[in-house]
Amino acid sequence: MYFKEYTIRWADLDANVHMRHSAYNDYAAQTRLLFMAENGMGMEWFRKHLVSPILFREETIFLKEIAGNETIRIDVVLLKMTEDGSKWTLQNNFYKADGTLAAKLTVDGAWLNIATRKLNTPPAELISLFDKLEKSADFKVIQA
């Protein structure tokens, strides 16, 4: 299972002195991109292969408050993917230090050819990398 730990910063808080809604999106995106970068597919790799991940939907379900200076752990789980790897659904789970699930953030995405600005099938390396992700208990292969 892939995960990253973060300590919540002052800049991540809202007027209610808990983590602001958009900070969840930022931390989830950082976790997903670090997963790829730490496996040899960082920004330079994407530029070289003229491919980039894009999102169609992003949904967060908030379960418990996360406060400033708390340490959280965020994982990446594969919920759905087409056989050719062109489209996918990922979930980031946010856990408090005691293991309590604090939020679930789900994204539907695909791969964009940055030269043509069209959706495409990713290089085989990306499909193999996503296959290494933990799959949800109800993982589904979806139609393209």
Residues 6+ apart with CB under 8 A from 45: none
User: At 27, which helix (H) or strand (E)?
Assistant: helix 21-37
pLDDT tens, residue by residue, 91-106: 999 999 999 999 999 9
Percent of residues, the chain, with pLDDT higher than 70? 100
- Predicted local distance difference test score (pLDDT) of residue 128: 96
In order of start, what are the domains of the chain with their CATH numbers?
3-142 (3.10.129.10)
Residues 6+ apart with CB under 8 A from 64: 96, 100, 101, 102, 103
Residue 45 dihedral angles phi and psi, to the nearest 5°: -60, -45
- Predicted local distance difference test score (pLDDT) of residue 144: 81
pLDDT tens, residue by residue, 49-84: 999 999 999 999 999 999 999 999 999 999 999 999
Q: Is the dihedral of CA 111, 59, 79, 45 positive or negative?
A: positive
Neighbours of 85 (CB within 10 A): 20
Distance of CA 81 to CAs 116, 139, 143, Å? 23, 8, 8
Residue 47 has pLDDT above 90, yes or no: yes
